[in-house]
Amino acid sequence: SFSLLPLILLLCLSAQAVDRSNFKTCDQSAFCKHQRELKPGQSPYRALLDTLELSDSRLTLQLINDNNKVRLLLELYRLQGNMTRVKINELKPLKPRYEVPDVLISDPITEALSVVAQDENSLVLSLGGKDQRLIVSAQPFRLDIVEGPQVLMSLNSRGLLAFEHLRARKDTISHKISSTVGSMWDSLKKEEDKPGMWEETFKSHTDSKPNGPSSISLDFSLPGVEHVYGIPEHADTLKLKNTDGSDPYRLYNLDVFQYELHNPMALYGAVPVLISHSTDRTMGIFWLNAAETWVDISSNTTVFGKILDFVQVSNEVPQTDVRWISESGLIDVFIMLGPKPADVFTQYASLTGTQSFPPLSALAYHQCRWNYNDQEDVKTVDQGFDEHDIPYDFIWLDIEHADGKRYFTWDPSNFPQPKEMLQGLMDKRRKLVAIVDPHIRVDSGYKIHNEIRSKNFYVKNKDGGDYEGWCWPGNSGYPDFTNPEMRAWWASQFAYDQYEGSMENQYIWNDMNEPSVFNGPEVTMHKDALHGVWEHRDVHNLYGLYVQKATADGLILRSGGVQRPFVLTRAFFAGSQRYGAVWTGDNAAEWGHLKISIPMCLSLGLVGISFCGADVGGFFKHPSAELLVRWYQVGAYQPFFRAHAHIDTPRREPWLFGPENTALIREAIRQRYALLPYWYQLFYNTHRTGQPVMRPLWVEYPDDVATFSIEDEYLIGKDLLVHPVTDEGATGVTAYLPGKGEVMCFSTLNGFLSLPIFQRGGSIICRKDRVRRSSSCMENDPYTLYVAPSSQGSAEGELYIDDFHTFSFEVAKQFVHRHLSFSANTLSSRNLAPDSQFSTASWIEKIVIFGGSQPSSVTLKNADGTESALEFEFGSTLAVLTLRKPGVNAAADWTVVLR
What backbone phi and psi angles, to 5 degrees, belong to 698? -65, -20
Q: Which residues contact 132 (CB under 8 A, 6 or more apart)?
A: 82, 126, 145, 146, 147, 337
Tens of pLDDT, residues 863-877: 999 999 999 999 999
The catalytic residues are 511, 586
- Of 608, 613, 640, 714, which Cα lies nearest the Cα of 271? 608
The DSSP secondary structure of 488-515, one letter per residue, reads: HHHHHTTSTTTSTT--TTEEEEE-STTT
Identify whether the C-beta of residue 268 lies closer than 8 Å to the C-beta of residue 258.
no
pLDDT at 194: 83
- Alpha helices, DSSP H only, in 148-248? 182-192
- Other C-beta atoms lying within 10 Å of the C-beta of residue 428: 16
pLDDT over threshold 80, residue 740:
no
The three state secondary structure string of 271-311 is CCEEEEECCCCEEEEEECCCCCEEEEEEEEEEECCEEECCE
Domains of the chain in sequence order: 39-166+216-305+314-352 (2.60.40.1760), 364-436+491-510+539-683 (3.20.20.80), 698-898 (2.60.40.1180)
Tens of pLDDT, residues 5-41: 543 332 222 245 788 999 999 999 999 999 999 999 9
Residues of the chain above pLDDT 90, percent = 89
Three-class SS state of 378: helix
Q: E-assigned strands of 164-215?
A: 200-202, 205-207
Identify whether the C-beta of residue 476 lies closer than 8 Å to the C-beta of residue 469.
yes
Average of pLDDT values for 429-441? 98
Identify whether the C-beta of residue 692 lies closer than 8 Å to the C-beta of residue 348.
no
- Of 566, 427, 434, which Cα lies nearest the Cα of 499? 434
- Other C-beta atoms lying within 10 Å of the C-beta of residue 181: 12
- Please return the burial class of 842, using the count of CB atoms within 10 Å of its CB with bins 0-12, 13-18 and 19+: buried
Tens of pLDDT, residues 640-682: 999 999 999 999 999 999 999 999 999 999 999 999 999 999 9
What span, in angstroms and rounded, lies between the C-alpha atoms of 113 and 56?
7
What span, in angstroms and rounded, lies between the C-alpha atoms of 194 and 202?
16
Identify whether the C-beta of residue 602 lies closer than 8 Å to the C-beta of residue 695.
yes
pLDDT at 177: 42
What span, in angstroms and rounded, lies between the C-alpha atoms of 103 and 576?
8
Rg (CA), the chain: 29
Tens of pLDDT, residues 822-851: 999 999 999 999 999 999 999 999 999 998
Tens of pLDDT, residues 771-819: 999 999 999 999 999 999 999 999 999 999 999 999 999 999 999 999 9
What span, in angstroms and rounded, lies between the C-alpha atoms of 720 and 756?
10
- Dihedral angle of Cα 849, 853, 858, 861, to the nearest 10 degrees: -60
Tens of pLDDT, residues 355-400: 999 999 999 999 999 999 999 999 999 999 999 999 999 999 999 9
Entry field: residues in the chain = 899
Q: What is the pTM of this model?
A: 0.95
Identify whether the C-beta of residue 452 lies closer than 8 Å to the C-beta of residue 458.
yes
Work out the mean pLDDT of the chain and round it to a whole number.
93
What span, in angstroms and rounded, lies between the C-alpha atoms of 298 and 321?
5
pLDDT over threshold 60, residue 179:
no
CA angle 676, 805, 552 (to 5 degrees): 110
- Of 305, 343, 315, which Cα lies nearest the Cα of 130? 343
The DSSP secondary structure of 412-471, one letter per residue, reads: TTT-S-HHHHHHHHHHTT-EEEEE--S-EE--TT-HHHHHHHHTT-BPB-TTSSBPEEEE
pLDDT at 746: 36
Tens of pLDDT, residues 106-151: 999 999 999 999 999 999 999 987 689 999 999 999 999 999 999 9
Pairing of strands 394-397, 694-695: unpaired
